[in-house]
Chain A
Amino acid sequence: MAWSPSEMTLGDQATLFKELAMRLVTFILRRALHSIFVLLGLSVVIFGISRILPGDPARMAVGARAPQWVVDNLRAQMHLDEPLFVQYGYWLADAVQGKFGISLVTRREVAEDIKEFFPATLELALFAGILMGGFGILLGTISAQHKDRWIDNVVRVLSYLGVVTPAFVFAIIFMLVFGYWLKWLPTIGRLSEGLTRPPVITGLMTVDALLAGDLVVFWDALKHLILPAVALAMGGLAQEARITRATMSDNLTKDYIAAERALGIPERVIMGKYLLKPSLIPTVSILGLDFAGTLSSAFLVELIFNWPGISRYGINAMLRKDLNAIAAVILVLGVVFIVVNIIVDIVVAYLDPRIRLSAERSE
């Protein structure tokens, strides 16, 4: 239902806020509902992948030398003799409860593996995401404010190179330069040998070390984090810098900036508030996509830096056709990606009243 100030009754602030809050809840619910649908679809695709493989999954699971009765038992256990959609039903029911079966590689419950490896990836991706957003916006802003001067040109060339260079190339170059030649930073794993892991609370090594008050471990974990995270962040960082520069230098020529200047609002307030907020909208919208890039590249970067995360686990599963593990990894990353995109949508709706208000109007 549309509302404009003229149609509203006088001074009804409380109702106004309640209405706004309601709309936000509706918005999030609708988004969540859509996501559940998408996840269901994704589960069909994943199930499909695990069944395009020629041959008998049960035979694959137990190996070529196992006797036939073992295979038959397993077939019955895996419901392989039932029609496909029934198999999917069983599979989905298990997946929803987090039961993905046994991993062929680690011989453990896949859910256990995910629980162990996922936090490492989360730490890496979060750190990369912060670098990406923070430095991307910073560089873009600097570039826009010194448009066409040398610093802008340097940022532009670097961000172009950043966009076109794959993360695994960055990983190898950083490893070579900062790890081997300059010897500034470690290149393997999450922690140096001889140090003991802090007690697991969040699973993020740096955070756990801080919570345990162990600064030595924190510093060491942070040093291990830097190279892989920077390699992961570079592409998105460059992309964010480009987008921020483009929107900002466009917005700088807008009349409202001129008007704010003409009315005597200080330059720092204009830059930090009136220019920044509208310029962040496209940047934040793109962050969701860039995060997808980060999750993708993590597969290779974790491999190169031997980072014990879910992506390295996933790659190993893929190379050994460990279907249970593959399905779980994709589903988990799909959920992460969807959650990130919902957050991005909410932030954009917060930043841009036009989206909020037009969404209301269309309902």
Chain B
Amino acid sequence: MTEVTGSWASGLQGEAGHVALADWQELQRRSRRENIGRAWYKFSRNPLSVAGLVIVLTIVLLAVLAPYVTPYPHHAGPFTDFANAKLPPNPRYLFGTDTIGRDILTRVIFGFQDALLMGIVVLALVVPPGVLLGLVAGYNQGTWIDTVIMRITDIFLAVPPLILALAIASVLKPNLMNSMMAVSLMWWPWYTRLVYGLTSQLRNEYFVKSAETLGASKAHILFREILPNCVSPIFTKMSLDMGWVILIGSALSFVGLGVQPPKPGLGTMVADGARYLPDQWWIPVFPALGIVVIVLGFNLLGDGLRDLLAAEEV
């Protein structure tokens, strides 16, 4: 069963009267530290999870430090150098240059910036409302509140997410901000459904029942009793979703509805480069590999987290 982390546990203080409050808090702190240590040990035993973590950290670092670590930072913008255009990979330009002479390696690394930004912003926009709706619907299972929320969720889940996102993005002005909005509008129902399932089980647990009997407020039950027990699945899903959101984002920019040139978007670069196949194959292939690596990293990390949390529940 899920580890119960509801705050009612702190009610034990009263029963164990001889334990002073400070000692109790110290004890809790220590056991939390131990848990983290044990979790890290377990996580580090799986080489694939560690590989995922390394990939994700590397990409984040590269993206943050892009202006300092890339060989030609000014190539990230509207720069042209026709003398060096369409060069295949060589020691000066490891990934080659594009049709107007910009270094592809530099542009791929700068492309990570918007890719990560997309993932972070979308998840930040999506998770709070999605989780909240799921909590409310799950706790009020069987009432009209449940029906309304979950039927609306069904509607959004009835169409593959990319298709509606494309449609929404297409009627808005094509730019990164609007593509984030479009993906966010499509993504919240997944969290609602996840949390709904968890909540409708948890609400029948004894620790929730006892909090109800003690007259705890609804807010207390939802946020202090139920929510803490949903945190691990939510985090796992977020880690996996970072990859998928970035993938959808790159799909949007592939068709020209996302990051706009001259800013380097990974999807945009693949789409533009595809026109120069097969002769300048490096123009689309390296940005495409960039997308694969970033999605791979978040997936490995997410799978590692899931295994870790699943193992803890045993």
A and B, direct touch (CB closer than 8 Å): yes
Specify the main secondary structure of chain B where it touches its partner. helix
Q: Does B93 contact A (CB under 8 A)?
A: no
Is A165 in contact with B254, judged by CB distance below 8 angstroms? no
Is A321 in contact with B170, judged by CB distance below 8 angstroms? yes
Is B167 in contact with A318, judged by CB distance below 8 angstroms? yes
Q: Does A132 contact B (CB under 8 A)?
A: no
Which B residue sits closest to A341, measured CB to CB? B158
* 0/1 string, A276-290, CB within 8 A of B gives 1: 000000000000000
Q: Does B247 contact A (CB under 8 A)?
A: yes
Is B285 in contact with A172, judged by CB distance below 8 angstroms? yes
Q: Which of A325-357 contact B (CB under 8 A)?
A: 326, 330, 333-334, 337-338
- Of B159, B255, B256, B299, which contacts A330 at CB under 8 A? B159
- Of A37, A49, A50, A321, which contacts B151 at CB under 8 A? A37
Shortest CB-to-CB span from B249 to chain A, Å, is 11
Q: Which of B263-283 contact A (CB under 8 A)?
A: 270, 274, 277-278, 281
Q: Does A315 contact B (CB under 8 A)?
A: yes
Q: Does A359 contact B (CB under 8 A)?
A: no
Q: Which residues on B sit within 8 Å (CB–CB) of A319?
A: 170, 255-257
Is B171 in contact with A50, judged by CB distance below 8 angstroms? yes
Is B154 in contact with A41, judged by CB distance below 8 angstroms? yes
Q: How far is the CA of A315 from the CA of B257 in the complex (A)?
A: 10
Q: Does B73 contact A (CB under 8 A)?
A: no
- Of B170, B247, B284, which contacts A318 at CB under 8 A? B170
Q: Which residues on A sit within 8 Å (CB–CB) of B169?
A: 318
- The A-B contact count (CB < 8 A) is 130
- Of A50, A168, A175, which contacts B251 at CB under 8 A? A168
Q: Which residues on B sit within 8 Å (CB–CB) of A163?
A: 299
Q: How far is the CA of A311 from the CA of B177 in the complex (A)?
A: 24
Q: Does A105 contact B (CB under 8 A)?
A: no
Contact status of A41 and B151, CB under 8 A, knowing A164-B243, A176-B281? yes
Is A169 in contact with B288, judged by CB distance below 8 angstroms? yes
Q: Which residues on A sit within 8 Å (CB–CB) of B166?
A: 299, 314-315, 318
Contact status of A172 and B155, CB under 8 A, knowing A318-B166, A319-B170, A333-B163? no
Q: How large is the interface on B (under 10, 10 to 19, 20 to 34, 35 or more residues)?
A: 35 or more
* 0/1 string, A31-45, CB within 8 A of B gives 1: 000100111011011
Shortest CB-to-CB span from A193 to chain B, Å, is 20
Q: Which residues on B sit within 8 Å (CB–CB) of A321?
A: 170-171
Is B285 in contact with A292, judged by CB distance below 8 angstroms? no
Shortest CB-to-CB span from B274 to chain A, Å, is 6
Q: Does A201 contact B (CB under 8 A)?
A: no
Specify the main secondary structure of chain A where it touches its partner. helix
Is A164 in contact with B299, judged by CB distance below 8 angstroms? yes
Q: Which residues on A sit within 8 Å (CB–CB) of B167?
A: 46, 49, 318, 326, 330
Q: How far is the CA of A19 from the CA of B158 in the complex (A)?
A: 31
Q: Does B168 contact A (CB under 8 A)?
A: yes
Q: Does A161 contact B (CB under 8 A)?
A: yes
Is B278 in contact with A300, judged by CB distance below 8 angstroms? no
Is B158 in contact with A334, judged by CB distance below 8 angstroms? yes
Q: Which of A39, A53, A172, A303 has the most CB of B within 10 A?
A: A172
Q: Does A90 contact B (CB under 8 A)?
A: no
Q: Does A52 contact B (CB under 8 A)?
A: yes
Question: Can you name 30 A-B pairs with beta carbons within 8 Å?
Answer: A34-B154, A38-B154, A49-B164, A49-B171, A52-B168, A52-B172, A160-B299, A163-B299, A166-B251, A168-B251, A169-B292, A172-B270, A173-B285, A173-B288, A176-B277, A292-B160, A296-B161, A296-B251, A299-B163, A299-B251, A300-B254, A318-B170, A318-B255, A319-B255, A323-B171, A333-B159, A333-B160, A334-B158, A334-B159, A337-B158
Which 5 A/B pairs are nearest by Cβ-Cβ distance?
A: A318-B170, A41-B155, A180-B278, A296-B162, A292-B160
